[in-house]
């Protein structure tokens, strides 16, 4: 699975941002073959001010499906809608996604340790 991430910096004007974001999201939702999408509202950072305000993650089965969706008419319209945001306020990334069940990292059974002692 892969995802397309659109990361929005903290806006100067929240009303204008939300209007532009709603229009953008409506277009994204029309793109073909989306597996799922996730909206992440940033609430803070452990190291000072958070760089981002919101992150949109759009998931696809594979890279070719993602490329086709972005090149589709709906994808092109969504891309054009990013022009409503302040220059330099949006960053985009593609990422491979690996998911694990249970949310816990396996550990060595009690008494067993790594032979070299390094982490």
The pTM is what?
Answer: 0.81
Which H or E run includes 88? Answer: none
CA angle 34, 82, 47 (to 5 degrees): 90
- Residues of the chain under the 70 pLDDT cut: 103-119
111 DSSP assignment: T
pLDDT digits (tens, 9 = 90+) for 77-101: 999 999 999 999 999 999 999 877 7
CB-based contact 78:32 (threshold 8 Å): no
Which H or E run includes 103? Answer: none
CB-based contact 98:44 (threshold 8 Å): no
Q: What per-residue confidence (pLDDT) applies to 106? A: 65
Q: Which residue has the tokens 């209007």?
A: 19
Q: Which residue has the tokens 């981002």?
A: 52
pLDDT digits (tens, 9 = 90+) for 25-34: 999 999 999 9
Q: What per-residue confidence (pLDDT) applies to 102? A: 73
């Amino acid at each position: 699975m892969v995802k397309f991430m659109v990361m929005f910096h903290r806006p100067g004007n929240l009303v204008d941002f939300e209007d532009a974001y709603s229009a953008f999201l409506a277009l994204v939702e029309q793109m073909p073959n989306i597996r799922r999408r996730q909206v992440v509202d940033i609430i803070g950072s452990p190291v000072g001010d958070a760089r981002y305000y919101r992150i949109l993650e759009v998931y696809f089965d594979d890279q070719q499906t993602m490329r086709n969706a972005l090149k589709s008419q709906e994808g092109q319209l969504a891309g054009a809608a990013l022009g409503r945001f302040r220059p330099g306020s949006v960053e985009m990334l593609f990422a491979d996604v690996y998911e694990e069940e249970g949310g816990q990292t396996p550990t060595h059974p009690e008494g067993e340790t790594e032979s070299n002692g390094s982490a």
